[in-house]
Structure 1
Amino acid sequence: MQVPSTTHQGDVPEGFVAFRKAGAFAEKNGPIYFRPTDSVLGFCVSPAHCNPVGLCHGGWLSTFLDMQMPLKAMREGGLEGCFLVTVSLSLDFLAVGAVGSWIEGQATVLKRSKSLVFVQGLAVSGGTPLLRGSGVYKAIPRSS
Structure 2
Amino acid sequence: MDGTRGIDGWRPLAARSGFLAGIGPLLWRRDADGLAMGFRVAERHCNPVGACHGGMLMTLADVVMGFGLGDRLDDGRFVPTVGMAADFLAPAPLGALVWGRAEVLRRGGRTGFAQCLLRAGDAMVLRASGVFQLDRRTDPGYSAATLFAGA
**Aligned position for 2:147:** none
For 2:65 and 2:139, locate their aligned partners in 1 and report how far apart those are by CA, in whole Å.
22
* Residue 62 (str. 1) matches residue 58 (str. 2): yes
| Separation (CA, whole Å) in 2 of partners of 1:108 and 1:127 | 19
Query: Which residue of structure 2 lines up, in the alignment, with residue 110 of structure 1?
Result: 105
Provide the residue aligned with 2:144 in structure 1.
none
Following superposition, the deviation at residue 72 of structure 1 comes to: 0.9
Q: Given the two structures, how large is their TM-score scaled by the length of structure 2?
A: 0.83
Cα deviation, residue 9, structure 1:
6.7
In the alignment, what sits opposite 1:35?
A: 29
- Tell me the distance in 2 between the aligned counterparts of 1:92 and 1:23: 29
Equivalent residue letter for 1:142 = T
What is the distance in 1 between the residues matched to 2:75 and 2:112?
Answer: 10
Give the secondary structure class of the aligned counterpart of 1:36. strand
The aligned residue for residue 17 of structure 1 is: 11
CA-based RMSD: 1.8
Number of equivalenced pairs: 136
Residue 55 of structure 1 aligns to a residue in which SS? Answer: coil
Residues of 1 paired with 2:118 and 2:17: CA distance?
20
Distance in 2 between the 1:86 and 1:76 partners? 16
Q: Structure 1: which 5+ residue stretches go unaligned?
A: 1-7
Identical columns (%): 32
Q: How does 1:87-102 map to 2 (within 5 A)?
A: 87-102=82-97
- Residue of structure 2 in register with 1:73 after alignment: 69
Rate the CA distance shift 1:47–1:63 in 2: closer, same or farther, 3 A.
same
How far does residue 105 in structure 1 lie from its aligned partner after superposition? 1.1
The offset of 1:36, in angstroms, is 3.1
SS, match of residue 44 in structure 2: helix
Task: Return the alpha-carbon distance in structure 2 between the equivalents of residues 119 and 31 of structure 1.
Answer: 24
Q: CA deviation at 1:11?
A: 3.8
Cα offset for 1:115? Answer: 1.4
Q: Which runs of 5+ in 2 are unaligned?
A: 141-151
